[in-house]
Amino acid sequence: MAPTAVVTRRGGERLRAGHPWIYRSDVVSVDAAPGDLVRVSTERGRPLGSALWSDASQISLRFVSAEPPPDDERAFFRARLEAAIAYRATLGIDGTACRLVHGEADRLPALIVDRYADWLVIQTLCQGMDRRAAALTDLLVELVRPAGILARNDPKVRRLEGLEERVDVVYGDVPDRVPVRMGSVHVDVDLRHGQKTGLFLDQQENHAVAARYARGRALDAFSYQGGFALQMAPRCASVLAIDSSAAAVAAIQENARQNGAANVEAREANVFDELRELEVSGAEFDTIVLDPPAFARNRAAVPRALAGYKEINLRALKLLSPGGHLVTCSCSYNVDEPLFLEVVTQAAADAGVTAALVEKRMQARDHPVLVGVPETHYLKCFVVRRV
């Protein structure tokens, strides 16, 4: 018998509203092994489609199709991968690094595939995708012809699926550092140890946007490896990049040297403290970028996160010269766009400045937001001008 799952009416309604996840509380019964692609129906027997089953996660069913499970899984997943890769080819990405597969938004739940020049990084973040990792690797070799594939399966979210955290080369060879180009900027990426799969690819388009507004003296706070700083450098007299990580600061310095950006200064410091000290010293900047890590990783952390966002935005607006631009970001899913805008509005009021919202942005187009699934809209980016 084919693997099956029965869900509650509430689960069925959630699916029909466009959300592809069914939680454990809405699963009535299951006859399946961990990671199976199961046929799902309601308690009344109405077919809902096919989903990947997890016996460990609270997200028990991740839908892949409104149709029954395919007879030929290989052909099914090959077609999905082909469609995802073909979409990226339409974006005209100016660089050699991008996301090829973005999980649910490509109807390949819990699967991430990032391309860095001739190499791929893959993440299988649920039982179903992890069980198919070898088959997915073979398909990616056929479709992309990479020099190597790294399985970067070290995110903590795998623990929720009862999966081991590990990093393995699963095809070819993967060097310690991979050279990539993003616009006019060239950097070497550590695929094994860098944040996410090596770089914050979801900010790539926002880096370019910040460069369009950049002028004069610029500040890049929470700079990681200098993605914003390096893109802004050619348009600015000077760029100060601040990060609390010594390794990140060293990477910025090396990336600046490699790109001939002699006007970039990298400083290791606590950004909250440094913003206050810059204000006390009377410093002023024409362009400021705030790209902090997620302050709210769960709902309980939201009040403290809002205080943190308000603090850094208030300080930045005070440091911003009249006519200057602030590019401010939040990657906290639990702080939605209206709430983040409210924080920036309050920060401007408390700073005693008049601010105009110039642009609302989100993650890059190779990280699409799935309509009906708010969890996929995690990155908010506002461009604000001090009037």
CA separation (Å) from 86 to 81, 173, 279, 317?
A: 8, 25, 48, 41
For domain 200-386, the CATH class is alpha beta
For the segment(s) 73-178, the CATH number from 1.10.20.60, 3.30.750.80, 2.60.40.10, 3.40.50.2300 is 3.30.750.80
pLDDT, tens digit, 9 for 90 and up, residues 25-76: 999 999 999 999 999 999 999 999 999 999 999 999 999 999 999 999 999 9
User: What are the catalytic residues?
Assistant: 331
Per-residue pLDDT of the chain (387 residues; tens, 9 = 90+): 789 999 999 999 999 999 999 999 999 999 999 999 999 999 999 999 999 999 999 999 999 999 999 999 999 999 999 999 999 999 999 999 999 999 999 999 999 999 999 999 999 999 999 999 999 999 999 999 999 999 999 999 999 999 999 999 999 999 999 999 999 999 999 999 999 999 999 999 999 999 999 999 999 999 999 999 999 999 999 999 999 999 999 999 999 999 999 999 999 999 999 999 999 999 999 999 999 999 998 999 999 999 999 999 999 999 999 999 999 999 999 999 999 999 999 999 999 999 999 999 999 999 999 998 988 999 999 999 999
pLDDT per position as a tens digit, 207-223: 999 999 999 999 999 99
Per-domain residue ranges for the chain?
4-65, 73-178, 200-386
State the fold for domain 4-65: 2.30.130
pLDDT, tens digit (0-9, with 9 covering 90-100), for 309-320? 999 999 999 999
Both tokens assigned to 315: 């300080």
Sign of CA pseudo-dihedral 135, 89, 109, 148: positive
Taking the C-alpha atoms of residue 299 and residue 319, their distance in angstroms, rounded to an integer, is 31
